């Protein structure tokens, strides 16, 4: 076990939970990032601006964090771009097909005890475990 950081992880999780709570309490919307992202390329003018604001907020929040804790993040180096692009494509395709990602299903859906979200979370976690096992231990990449 290396670099175990339960306190910062839990604290960050609380902030994520508060963000989702604020969006539901005030706007009545679920903070599902993949749904909000894909909403930008739908013809729903009325929904466009809050979605843009939310996503811009995530960029600003991460930027502020970077200013407060410079050096906290060292970018990953030498990761194959083709592999990254392929992974990104699967993330986009899979989250649309499965109606959600880590935020929408694992944080918001489970809080509502949605059976769909509980099942989706178990499935994408297991799929992630198996994928990393294959990539790292069968093919020996990274």
Which residue from 6, 43, 78, 140 is in contact with another protein, where contact means CB under 8 A? 6
Minimal distance, residue 80 CB to another protein, in Å: 10
Nearer residue to another protein within complex by CB, 45 or 85: 85
Number of C-alpha atoms within 13 angstroms, CB side, residue 108? 24
8 Å CB contact between 31 and 20: yes
CA separation for the pair 108, 62 (Å, rounded): 21
Which tokens hold the place of 98? 């499965």
CA separation for the pair 113, 128 (Å, rounded): 22
Which residue from 43, 44, 45, 57 is in contact with another protein, where contact means CB under 8 A? 57
Residues 115-134 that bind another protein (CB under 8 A): 115-116, 119-121, 123-133
Per-position x/- string for 63-82, each x denoting binding to another protein as judged by CB under 8 A, each - no binding: xxxx-----xx-xx--x-x-
């Amino acid at each position: 076990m290396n670099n175990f950081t339960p306190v910062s992880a839990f604290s960050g999780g609380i902030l994520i939970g508060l963000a989702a709570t604020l969006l539901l309490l005030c706007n009545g919307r679920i903070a599902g990032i993949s749904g909000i992202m894909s909403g930008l390329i739908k013809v729903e003018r009325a929904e466009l601006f809050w979605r843009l604001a939310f996503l811009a907020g995530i960029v600003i929040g991460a930027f502020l964090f970077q200013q407060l804790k410079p050096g906290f993040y060292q970018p990953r180096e030498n990761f194959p771009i083709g592999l990254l692009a392929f992974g990104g494509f699967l993330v986009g395709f899979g989250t649309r097909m499965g109606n959600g990602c880590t935020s929408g299903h694992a944080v918001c859906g489970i809080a509502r005890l949605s059976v769909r979200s509980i099942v989706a979370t178990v499935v994408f976690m297991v799929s992630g475990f198996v994928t990393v096992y294959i990539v790292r231990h069968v093919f020996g990449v990274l």
